[in-house]
A = this chain, B = another copy of it.
Amino acid sequence: MRNHGSFSESVRAKVLAATEALDYTPNRIAGGLASVTSRLVGIVIPSISNAVMPDVLAGAMNVLEENGFQSIIGATNFDPLQEEKLVRSILSWRPRGLMIAGLDHTKNVRALLRKAHVPIVELLDIDDGGIDFVVGSSHRMAGRKSAEFLLARGYLRIGYVGHNILVDLRAGRRFEGFVSVLKERGISLVGEDIGAHPVSSVEAGREGLARLLHRFPEVDAVYFSSDNLAMGAYFYCLENKISVPRDVALFGYNGLALTDLIPQPLSTIRTPRRLIGEVGARLLLQDTETAKVVDLGFELIEGKTS
């Protein structure tokens, strides 16, 4: 049935006829046990209801399905303990490999992954060391480029609105990169508003900008931890007749589909999310031994909001 091995055409035909007649469904559980190697790939992400992960997943699942692999997906909800449970649980399905978002894991998780003896692909972040394959782009660098862009445009009284960077470590790295450029130029952030929510949302952006402008009316540009927040802020400006970018410039991160369709396309950084998933999956399937880091970069979108 798997068209592999040696046999005559007549036998093959008979087998195929029989499977048809009995509507036989092969049992991959048994197959997996016998062959030790399953056509299953584990995927661990923080959350699925989020603008970034679905794109990454789509890319990965696409490549995986094309190669006859099935993905078994789990969400940690940003909880490191949950991540450990999940990894353990997924590993017990003896997947052919494991894709996991980010480079920041507990010691236990790192140990588990290392001992799994299957390719591990860490996605979306390349700013730190990985287990074996690392695919994504630099958040530190994205933060730096964003700062350089705003400074080049002449903004000097810059504020920051973000969601919880203690939970979203990648947003934290962008912030770090952003601030370090300012510091190198002898400038400091005028003010910041960091929400408590672990996840970015449009509503939080609206509220965050309102609070920031209230406390620091002199701000002339705002860097957001994500497009969601920046979009909310943009809507806030629209409603309150705050002229963008004259009164205040806005800069986001992600390059979501929506951001270039609002009346003034958002200035932001676009990441190759789908590609990250695809490349990650491909790396995992072609089991070359050599661990490596693949920097897929990002694109700065000038937009009309800064």
Q: Which residues of A are in contact with B by a Cβ distance under 8 Å?
A: 23, 25-30, 32-33, 38, 40, 47-50, 53-55, 57-58, 61-62, 65, 68, 70-75, 86, 88-94, 111, 115-116, 201-203, 206, 231-232, 235, 238-239, 257-258, 261-263, 274
Q: Taking CB as reference atom, which chain B residue is nearest A23?
A: B115
- A258/B261 contact (C-beta < 8 A), A50-B54, A73-B73 known: no
- A202/B257 contact (C-beta < 8 A), A29-B33, A47-B58, A75-B65 known: yes
- For chain A, what secondary structure do more than half of its interface residues adopt (helix, strand, loop), or is it mixed? helix
Residues of B within 8 A of A88 (CB): 25
A-B contact pairs, 15 of them (CB 8 A): A23-B111, A23-B115, A25-B116, A27-B33, A29-B32, A33-B33, A49-B54, A49-B55, A50-B54, A53-B54, A61-B74, A65-B75, A70-B93, A235-B262, A258-B258
Are B92 and A28 closer than 8 Å at their CB atoms?
A: yes
CA distance A55 to B232 in the complex (A): 20
Q: Which of B29, B92, B201 contacts A94 (CB 8 A)?
A: B29
Are A28 and B58 closer than 8 Å at their CB atoms?
A: no
This chain: copies in complex: 2
Q: Taking CB as reference atom, which chain B residue is nearest A92?
A: B28
Residues of B within 8 A of A94 (CB): 27-29
CA distance A55 to B51 in the complex (A): 11
CA distance A68 to B82 in the complex (A): 12
Nearest-CB distance from A77 to chain B (Å)? 8
Residues of B within 8 A of A23 (CB): 111, 115
Nearest-CB distance from A199 to chain B (Å)? 11
